[in-house]
Structure 1
């Protein structure tokens, strides 16, 4: 499954690849990130470093943003292509299996300024939007 968000304009874009994860716990809840600066929600994940494996990037970002140790599935389940401001981003979506919630996040200074917070919500609530 693939989806395009936004519209390409005749400007110079910064290219970025990202990974996003969908992770459930044993209570049938998924983890979601709230970004206070912008007032929006997103799935855990972020930029893939040059030559970094998607699975490693997703597992790294899950630990940093949620404090959760995860194991990601092999196959990408969906992609999005996004045109936002001067950013062209392709995101790859994977299922992840929760191994342990350490409770310790490692946010970057920018993520702290943006007010990132994670929480668990029921799959039903997530589907309702």
Structure 2
């Protein structure tokens, strides 16, 4: 799969050897200019549905599971590689200093009807909800949050980059 971008935080911990890798999948589901996204009330931002790949799970199985859990999407078909985004961030727990985050992105199709999501407790606390939104509106909104908010989440730069890349390559 092709690398879309590699980033690291400005103040990355100097002990780069004390790190772990977290792999995740991200789904790109389009209907014309509309894209299936997650809105997170805590950070007031939009992101692609997806999340961590479980132990023993391959990328595609993780993608399908995460889509179902976060959006209620089912009958996922026509899965195609889009690319991956790599990040190095400081870790907040004592056992590691750095997390090496790999987000594998795939385009896919789903049934038109969404079932009820099955959010985890922290996702409910963060006020996550799936929705269809014009991709240009999502980009504009996230850019405003990046510019004006001091409560923005760690993933908003990645998500906004990915949305712009989707527009450039898929629309």
TM class, shorter-chain normalised? 0.7 to 0.9
Q: Return closer, same or farther for 1:113/1:127 CA change in 2, 3 Å cut-off.
A: closer
Q: Which has the higher helix share?
A: 2
- 1:6: which partner in 2? 8
- 1:43: which partner in 2? 48
SS at match of 2:55: coil
1:52 aligns with 2:64: no
**Residues in 1 aligned to 2:38 and 2:30: alpha-carbon distance in whole angstroms:** 14
- 8 Å CA contact 2:37–2:131 kept in 1: the answer is yes
- 2:23: which partner in 1? 17
SS at match of 1:89: strand
- 8 Å CA contact 1:59–1:72 kept in 2: the answer is no
Deviation string 1:39-97 (CA, Å, 9 cap, x unpaired) is 33210000011221211111111111011114254442111111233132101000010
- 2:148: which partner in 1? none
SS at match of 1:59: helix
TM-score, normalising length: structure 1: 0.83
**Residues in 2 aligned to 1:74 and 1:22: alpha-carbon distance in whole angstroms:** 9
- 8 Å CA contact 2:80–2:108 kept in 1: the answer is no
Gaps of 5+ in 1: none
Q: Which has the higher strand share?
A: 1
> Which structure would you say has the larger Rg?
2
- 8 Å CA contact 1:33–1:118 kept in 2: the answer is yes
Give the CA RMSD over aligned residues. 2.2
> Cα distance, 1:9 vs. partner?
2.9
- 8 Å CA contact 2:79–2:108 kept in 1: the answer is no
- When structure 1 is superposed on structure 2, of 119-128 and 76-85 the one drifting more is 119-128
- 8 Å CA contact 1:64–1:105 kept in 2: the answer is yes
1:113 aligns with 2:119: no
TM-score, normalising length: structure 2: 0.65
Gaps of 5+ in 2: 92-98, 144-171
Deviation string 1:84-115 (CA, Å, 9 cap, x unpaired) is 33132101000010124233010001111111
